[in-house]
Amino acid sequence: MTHSSTDNIVQTLENWILGARAGVKLPTSRELVEEYSVSPVTVRNAIHVLSEKGLVEVRPGVGVFTKPHRAARVADYGWQAGALGALQNDLPVITPAQKTGSPDVIALNNGYPDEALLPTDQIRRTMVKVSKEPDSLKRSPVRGLPELQNWFSHQVECSPRDVLIVNGTQSGLTAIFRSVVGNGQPLLVESPTYWGAILAAKQSSIVLHPVTSDEEGPKTEDVEKTLKSTGARVFYAQPHYANPHGRSWSQKRKAEILELVRKHDTFLIEDDWAHDFWFNRSHTPIANQDADGHVIYLRSLTKSVSPAVRVGAVIARGPVLHRITAHAAAEAMYTSSLLQRVALHIVSSNAWNKHLNSVRRELKQRRDDLLDALRSKAPEVTVNHIPAGGLNLWCEVEESIDVEKLAQVSESNGLLISPGQGWFPTDPTGSFFRLNFAGSRSENFSEAAESLHRAISEIRQ
Amino acid sequence: MTHSSTDNIVQTLENWILGARAGVKLPTSRELVEEYSVSPVTVRNAIHVLSEKGLVEVRPGVGVFTKPHRAARVADYGWQAGALGALQNDLPVITPAQKTGSPDVIALNNGYPDEALLPTDQIRRTMVKVSKEPDSLKRSPVRGLPELQNWFSHQVECSPRDVLIVNGTQSGLTAIFRSVVGNGQPLLVESPTYWGAILAAKQSSIVLHPVTSDEEGPKTEDVEKTLKSTGARVFYAQPHYANPHGRSWSQKRKAEILELVRKHDTFLIEDDWAHDFWFNRSHTPIANQDADGHVIYLRSLTKSVSPAVRVGAVIARGPVLHRITAHAAAEAMYTSSLLQRVALHIVSSNAWNKHLNSVRRELKQRRDDLLDALRSKAPEVTVNHIPAGGLNLWCEVEESIDVEKLAQVSESNGLLISPGQGWFPTDPTGSFFRLNFAGSRSENFSEAAESLHRAISEIRQ
């Protein structure tokens, strides 16, 4: 056992030494003996180890001193520029939609609902419950906890075996893009479309081909033409309350697109990100109508349960799921069983539907309040579509206004907005920005709209 | 409010209908009114919605019946074979080292410590504590919680800004390989080396170049020769208690390799997976000696804290960390703050060092017990190196024995082992298998060794 008491002191002193400057005197042996309740032999051994490691200098009769553990000079990382080479993909660390501001800022940029819209208290109680469950700290199976797979299988008409639990849908998207689309291959997308999908595609050097849309959804003929001309095998879309503009495909268009992907032996990735956030009536996923494995369905719980509970699912039928699973496993092994259990308790509780209903009412109210505020205080801002679900308003201003600049001016006035560029797979078709009405309360919207109005006036001058 | 009560019933009935066969009669309107304590109008609306959705058929005067929501036929996934094309990378979903057996099986294949070696009770108490913390459910910054970055920065001599918290080191490895090595590029590795690294490399079509080693570590001249001949910019290694064989590099070799990567403007990925699992004395990471950002350091808490707490760190200095962070963010956005907080409490508690000391004692004892059992019951098995840390014994048998077959025969006798192939970047250099002494208790080792002996005899015949 001697080694462990020695090592304890060694480790503690090592931390202390690494934080100290060179030439600082260590406590005396007697002090160390007292402080750690160990024998003088243990202390001597520890000093010996530290000296061997080159961390201290023993000056007999004087004391033990920290050694300069590194020449005091500025590190030179210049060589890395050459070693890293040109950027393969220019990926941002933090996108405008992820920026967080100080508490006195009005944040309409953020994609996450504020705490008032989350079942925070219930999650806290659930954590206590989960902490007592015998299996809660076990390693999860690669595909996820069977109980949670089962819950998801009732969300879409499928078998629990068709469900892969992932550590948030961004991980799911990454695994799908890698395994089904493939590095450098073509992918059809709507325009504008979810920035996270654009980011994940960029990372795999995937070539994005936007298709044109009308009020009913992507134009069927254009999707067919683009599938043919590019040879793409996959179409990524958000058919319900799409981020950013909140539009949904009509029933007719959904059927047409599904028929089309069937006909061309291709896949539709249905990212049902706002499944829980409808205002008037719930929708049925396209995946429910898919018999032969053409739809790869994505569903996240992060936004409706909690940003701290990163749990989502990929649902797919046939051999394609096996391929996605292999990639997801190579990337992250498995998803924390602790988070899966918390999520499972929340979504399968009796309170869940009630909670979602109150969230929907509140979101609808905030949407209306933000629209009202814009109409009365910032008439220069146009909202072309009033979304019947989701968390966002997609706003347009006259084309002469640089929305990057608008975002900067607004930020300096204490308002965060997201310039629209991030949602465009190619060039933006106008001056757009996104306002999220879920991350901030209605009482701030009037001030936000006034702030926008002032910023626009300032830029126009 | 009417819409929410209707939608509640719609949703509940939808789930019910999707689970039912076609032609099944729904409860009567009166029954639904009673069951959901709603008005007859609400029920009528709900039935109308379900009928619109094509889920039920209303037969006036008779009742409401589920409709066949899909032609009753076997799904045809044959088209996917063509659409998916040839496998770009042949990735397994579950590797031998991840297989789990029934409780009556002795599992020496698994890479994870059993519950007796984990601070399970402490984690449970910590979850309760974390459940009460005001910020525990907030979204984490992309780079991780500052407090946890700070803790890691004391593990290796660096600034908290040099630390990126990841959702387990496999995610970190994936992000490093993608951003620093690059798709299809060369990478130096030891042989054998960690299967998870081989898997992550395969996924990015990275070309592995093994270097030869002696007792002190990878041969310096061979590393230099291979760096030059392949143009590789990165060397991935586990310098301490490497998985699978448990060897560590000598101090001299560590200094030589660090000097070499400096000289050639390359990176060393130091995967310090067993940092907590030394038996005789702790080791100092090579990263501590690195002044100019040549070492990218990986450290996991999953194995020492809990498989349910997937938290690890990538530590790197200079612009390279920015690039890794961008890739990690594109892949998973951020790591759950809930898990980060649990991990932080555990590793910064007073009990942590004491816990680790008892784990080390127990691991060392199990290592000795397994070695003893093999010596007395399975003398055909050679262990070339007795590891001074880690969780594994790397075993060799005569070359004529097919270890895949050995694993199969053993499994049918109730013993799980990991055939060695998975750890070889190219061809195996002999008949190896790995036994993990952390996932099973000493009392099982004698039976395990006997079982191995019988299986070997059976194969020899």
Q: Indicate which CATH number applies to the domain containing B394.
A: 3.90.1150.10
In a domain, B374, yes or no: yes
Q: Which of B299, B332, B348 is the last residue of a domain?
A: B348
Domain containing B342 — which CATH number? 3.40.640.10
Could you tell me if A315 and A359 lie in one domain?
Answer: no
Cα–Cα distance for residue pair A167/A379, rounded to 1 Å: 42
Residues of B whose CB is below 8 A from A346: none
Indicate the residue of B85, B118, B280 with minimum beta-carbon distance to A3.
B280
Name the H helices within A132-194: 146-153, 169-176
With H, G, I as helix, E, B as strand and everything else as coil, classify residue A51: helix
In a domain, B446, yes or no: yes
In a domain, A442, yes or no: yes
Could you tell me if A259 and A173 lie in one domain?
Answer: yes
The residue of A102, A139, A155, A320 whose CB has the most chain B CBs within 10 angstroms, and thus the best one to mutate to test that interface, is A139
Residue A71 has pLDDT above 50, yes or no: no
Residue A270: strand pairing partners: A237, A297
- What the block records as the tokens of A377 is 């205080």
Give me the sign of the Cα torsion angle A123, A128, A130, A131.
Answer: positive
The residue of B93, B173, B305 whose CB has the most chain A CBs within 10 angstroms, and thus the best one to mutate to test that interface, is B93
With H, G, I as helix, E, B as strand and everything else as coil, classify residue A36: helix
pLDDT at B63: 87
Residues of B whose CB is below 8 A from A327: 91, 203
Q: Given CB atoms, is A250 within the 8 Å cutoff of chain B? A: no
Q: What is the DSSP letter of A393?
A: E
The residue of B52, B88, B117, B137 whose CB has the most chain A CBs within 10 angstroms, and thus the best one to mutate to test that interface, is B137
Angle at A346 between CA A342 and CA A351, to 5 degrees: 155
The chain B residue lying nearest A290, using CA atoms, is B70
CB contact under 8 A, B3 and A280: yes
Return the HEC string of chain B.
Answer: CHHHHHHHHHHHHHHHHHHCCCCCECCCHHHHHHHHCCCHHHHHHHHHHHHHCCCEEEECCCEEEECCCCCCCCCCCHHHHHHHCCCCCCCCCCCHHHCCCCCCCEECCCCCCCHHHCCHHHHHHHHHHHHHCCCCCCCCCCCCCHHHHHHHHCCCCCCHHHEEEECCHHHHHHHHHHHHHCCCCEEEECCCCCHHHHHHHHHCCCEEEECCEECCEECHHHHHHHHHHHCCCEEEECCCCCCCCCCCCCHHHHHHHHHHHHHCCCEEEEECCCCCCECCCCCCCHHHHCCCCCEEEEEECCCCCCCCCCCEEEECCCHHHHHHHHHHHHHHCCCCHHHHHHHHHHHCCCHHHHHHHHHHHHHHHHHHHHHHHHHHHCCCCEECCCCCECCEEEEEECCCCCHHHHHHHHHHCCEECEEHHHHCCCCCCCEEEEEECCCCCHHHHHHHHHHHHHHHHHHHC
CB contact under 8 A, A75 and B142: no
Could you tell me if B420 and B293 lie in one domain?
Answer: no
Give me the sign of the Cα torsion angle A177, A183, A185, A191.
Answer: positive
Indicate the residue of B200, B265, B326 with minimum beta-carbon distance to A79.
B265
Contact B222, B209 (CB under 8 A): no
Could you tell me if A53 and A135 lie in one domain?
Answer: no
Angle at B417 between CA B416 and CA B418, to 5 degrees: 130
Phi, psi of B14 (to 5 degrees): -60, -50
In a domain, B232, yes or no: yes
The chain A residue lying nearest B330, using CA atoms, is A200
In terms of Cβ atoms closer than 10 Å to its own Cβ (0-12, 13-18, 19+), residue A250 is middle
Could you tell me if A328 and A448 lie in one domain?
Answer: no
The chain A residue lying nearest B251, using CA atoms, is A53
Low-confidence stretches of chain B (pLDDT < 50) are 1-2, 71-72
Cα–Cα distance for residue pair A267/A218, rounded to 1 Å: 15
Angle between helices B40-52 and B2-19 (to 10 degrees): 50
Cα–Cα distance for residue pair A88/B324, rounded to 1 Å: 12
- What the block records as the tokens of B96 is 């031998």
Q: How far is CA A18 from the centre of its chain?
A: 35
With H, G, I as helix, E, B as strand and everything else as coil, classify residue A142: coil
CB contact under 8 A, B280 and A140: no
Q: Given CB atoms, is B125 within the 8 Å cutoff of chain A? A: yes
For residue B74, give the amino acid letter: V
DSSP string, A212-275: -EETTEE-HHHHHHHHHHH---EEEE--SS-TTT-----HHHHHHHHHHHHHTT-EEEEE-TTT
Residue A101: strand pairing partners: none
Could you tell me if B196 and B309 lie in one domain?
Answer: yes
Looking only at the bridges linking them, the beta strands covering B186-189 and B234-237 are parallel
CA-based nearest residue to B327, from A84, A428, A296, A323: A84
Tell me how close the Cα of A241 comes to any Cα of chain B, in angstroms.
18
pLDDT in tens, A295-304: 999 999 989 9
Contact B140, A308 (CB under 8 A): yes
With H, G, I as helix, E, B as strand and everything else as coil, classify residue A389: strand
Per the structure, the count of domains in chain A is: 3
In a domain, B73, yes or no: no
Report how far apart, in Å, the C-alpha atoms of A2 and of each of A6, A52, B284 are.
Answer: 6, 18, 20
Q: Is cis: bond before B192, omega within 30 of 0?
A: yes
Q: Residue A113 CB: number of other CB atoms within 10 A?
A: 22
Could you tell me if A283 and A153 lie in one domain?
Answer: yes
Residues of A whose CB is below 8 A from B76: 292
Report how far apart, in Å, the C-alpha atoms of B93 and of each of A79, B43, B77, B175, B184 are.
Answer: 39, 46, 20, 19, 22
Domain containing B34 — which CATH number? 1.10.10.10
In a domain, B177, yes or no: yes
Could you tell me if B325 and B412 lie in one domain?
Answer: no
Residues of A whose CB is below 8 A from B183: 88, 183, 205
The residue of B2, B80, B206 whose CB has the most chain A CBs within 10 angstroms, and thus the best one to mutate to test that interface, is B80
pLDDT in tens, A359-399: 999 999 999 999 999 999 999 999 999 999 999 999 999 99
Residues spanned by the domain of B245: 120-348
The chain A residue lying nearest B118, using CA atoms, is A137
Cα–Cα distance for residue pair A5/A10, rounded to 1 Å: 9
What ipTM is given for this predicted complex?
Answer: 0.80
Q: Which of B313, B348, B383 is the last residue of a domain?
A: B348
Helix or strand (DSSP H, E) at A131: helix A120-131
- From chain B residues 351-410, the ones with a CB under 8 A of any chain A CB are 353, 357, 360-361
Q: Tokens 């306002």 sit at which residue? A: A435
Contact B346, B126 (CB under 8 A): yes
Cα–Cα distance for residue pair A264/A225, rounded to 1 Å: 11
Could you tell me if A108 and A128 lie in one domain?
Answer: no
- From chain A residues 304-323, the ones with a CB under 8 A of any chain B CB are 306-310, 317-320, 322-323
Tell me how close the Cα of B171 comes to any Cα of chain A, in angstroms.
5
Cα–Cα distance for residue pair A202/A197, rounded to 1 Å: 8
CB contact under 8 A, A332 and B170: yes
- What the block records as the tokens of B90 is 């042949």
Tell me how close the Cα of B229 comes to any Cα of chain A, in angstroms.
16
With H, G, I as helix, E, B as strand and everything else as coil, classify residue A182: coil
Indicate the residue of B127, B233, B331 with minimum beta-carbon distance to A171.
B331
Predicted TM-score (pTM) above 0.90: no
CA-based nearest residue to A407, from A91, A107, A92, A104: A107
pLDDT at A22: 74
CB contact under 8 A, B10 and A281: yes
- From chain A residues 180-209, the ones with a CB under 8 A of any chain B CB are 180, 182-183, 196, 199-200, 202-203, 205
Please, which residues have CB within 8 angstroms of residue A92's CB and are 6 or more apart in sequence? A199, B326
* Half-sphere CA count of B109, side-chain side, radius 13 A: 25
In a domain, A59, yes or no: yes
In a domain, B81, yes or no: no
Q: Tokens 């990126």 sit at which residue? A: B164
Looking only at the bridges linking them, the beta strands covering B312-315 and B217-218 are unpaired
Residues of B whose CB is below 8 A from A19: 154
- What the block records as the tokens of B25 is 């009669």
Contact A195, A422 (CB under 8 A): yes
- Give the residue, A333 or B377, on which the prediction is more confident: B377
Report how far apart, in Å, the C-alpha atoms of A450 and of each of A104, A384, A453, B291 are.
Answer: 16, 20, 5, 51
Indicate the residue of B3, B75, B336 with minimum beta-carbon distance to A310.
B336
Could you tell me if B321 and B337 lie in one domain?
Answer: yes
Could you tell me if B298 and B422 lie in one domain?
Answer: no
Q: What is the DSSP letter of A102?
A: -
Q: Residue A353 CB: number of other CB atoms within 10 A?
A: 16
Contact A421, A272 (CB under 8 A): no
pLDDT at A126: 96
Q: Given CB atoms, is B292 within the 8 Å cutoff of chain A? A: yes
Q: Which of B348, B379, B411 is the last residue of a domain?
A: B348
Could you tell me if A105 and A128 lie in one domain?
Answer: no
Please list, residue by residue across B39-74, b when 16 or more beta carbons sit within 10 angstroms of its beta carbon and e when fewer do.
eeebbebbbebbeebebbbeeeeeebbbbebeeeee
- What the block records as the tokens of B352 is 């942590």
Residues of A whose CB is below 8 A from B70: 157, 291
Residue A10 has pLDDT above 90, yes or no: no
With H, G, I as helix, E, B as strand and everything else as coil, classify residue A414: coil
Average pLDDT, chain A: 90
Cα–Cα distance for residue pair A426/A190, rounded to 1 Å: 11
Helix or strand (DSSP H, E) at A416: strand A415-416
pLDDT in tens, A89-135: 667 766 666 676 667 889 999 878 888 899 999 999 999 999 999 88
Radius of gyration of chain B (CA): 28
Radius of gyration of chain A (CA): 28
Contact A439, A97 (CB under 8 A): no
pLDDT in tens, A231-284: 999 999 999 999 999 999 999 999 999 999 999 999 999 999 999 999 998 899
